[in-house]
Amino acid sequence: MFSLKRYWQKLSGKLWLRPTLSSAFAIFMAAFAYWFGQNFDSILDFNISEDTLLMLLGIFTSSMLSVATFTVSAIVTAASSASNSTTPRASQYVLNDGVAQFVLSTFIAAFIYSIVGIFSLKVLHYGSAGRFVLFLGLIFIVVLVLIALINWIDHAIRLGRQSTIVNKLTEATVASIDPAVIGTFGAQRWQGDVPANSVALYPQQFGYVTDLDMPRLQKQAERTNTQLIINTRPGEIVEITSPIAYITPAEHADENLEQAIQEAIATDTRRQPLRDIRHNLLNLTETADRALSPGINDPGTAIHIMNIQMSLLIQWARVYYQQDCYEVHYDRLSLPTLSAADLVSDCFNPIARDGAGIVEVGIRLQKVLQALTRLGSPELTAAAKAMSSTALELAEHSLVAAEHRAKVAKIANEVAQAS
């Protein structure tokens, strides 16, 4: 089965989850207050009148509905602003924002609690003890609402700003720089050679790979005494004309094994950030590329993001050479590794193309690539040199001033000579 932790992380990002849980809590409190009033009415000497409680609940009902509606509108506006200033994929980070979800769920809980309390008081006999518990629940809700309002005043101002979204995109990328994600998820490294006695397995649908159930694949391979080559990774597209796996030996493949492989490779119509570092890097790149468009003309943002990408690739290189990155836990499975060339291309190819006519962008790009060649990673050095050459060619065709071309060429030559 897939990791319960990863499933919860995915589910917790849904905007409806916390309001639903808070609404369930509000209904539970109203039911508990009724039960308490029926069984312990004679214990408490404290008495709050029904009219007073109805008045307080009525105030909350009218105010919290308006506040919750305004909060939803603010979140939607922030998501739209994030899409326009960074990348359309950034809207999910606004909708998944923990503070925004806490605030919205608190306001909805207060509204649901007030509605349920009013109906219950009108229909049922709570008694003094029951009304007291309802009052305590109301005090608890008031405290939560005050905390939510204090957090929301400051957070709402920053939620849709470009700098906030860039930070969230960076945090998502850092979270995906994990030994399992960078490596082979516990499988053996596949070098690209398909054994002679193998049968190819093709996917049954189109989509992006979001997760791999490695324990299940290992168990099925042991059952059938086979070796499995998984020809895909999270973030890659699968379609019916390209194999997603190879089974060796071919004669041991059966219908149950093929069905299990199909089910163990989870797909979706959208890429998911949890196990897809390339997707996260591309989100940052798209933000930089949007800043370079003629309508926005903001090379400073592109330079800032290139610096972030440099630090992220440095972190990737550190993890890439760790021993636990390639520890084999599933000896019957093989998986391709991430390519440094793909990561460098994801980070800088659009920037090199659309920033070719801006000298400060070209110079900074070459300096970032030069820094990557100093890390001592052969794969990253080769990828940086190739990108530097491409960026130089684009700049020479786009820069008008000979002095600007010479500045970019000078640093590019230093990159080419790096060992």
φ, ψ dihedrals at 367, nearest 5°: -70, -35
Q: What integer pLDDT is reported at residue 2 of this predicted model? A: 46
Question: Which of 222, 242, 268 is the endpoint of a domain?
Answer: 268
Distance (Å, whole) CA 241 – CA 235: 18
272: confidence class by pLDDT, cuts 50, 70, 90: confident
> 9 and 51 share a domain?
yes
Q: What integer pLDDT is reported at residue 188 of this predicted model? A: 93
236: domain range? 182-268
> 14 and 84 share a domain?
yes
- Kindly state the DSSP code that residue 196 receives in the 8-state scheme: S
Mean model confidence pLDDT for the chain:
88
> 15 and 156 share a domain?
yes
- In tens, the pLDDT along 55-82 reads 988 988 888 888 888 888 888 888 888 8
> 136 and 92 share a domain?
yes
Considering the chain, what percentage of its residues have pLDDT values greater than 70? 95
Q: Looking at the 3D structure of the chain, how many domains does it have?
A: 3
Question: 397: number of CA atoms within 13 Å, CB side?
Answer: 8
Pairing of strands 207-212, 237-238: antiparallel
> 10 and 156 share a domain?
yes
Enter the tokens of residue 396: 């020479």
Distance (Å, whole) CA 284 – CA 291: 11
Considering the chain, what percentage of its residues have pLDDT values greater than 90? 50
For residue 171, tell me if it sits in a domain. no
Q: What integer pLDDT is reported at residue 325 of this predicted model? A: 84
For residue 175, tell me if it sits in a domain. no
| Count of Cβ atoms closer than 10 Å to residue 28 Cβ | 13
- In tens, the pLDDT along 148-177 reads 888 888 788 888 788 889 999 999 999 999
> 107 and 140 share a domain?
yes
> 296 and 382 share a domain?
yes
> 210 and 150 share a domain?
no
> 309 and 397 share a domain?
yes
372: confidence class by pLDDT, cuts 50, 70, 90: very high
| Residue 27 pLDDT > 60 | yes
Distance (Å, whole) CA 132 – CA 126: 9
For residue 169, tell me if it sits in a domain. no
| Residue 335 pLDDT > 50 | yes
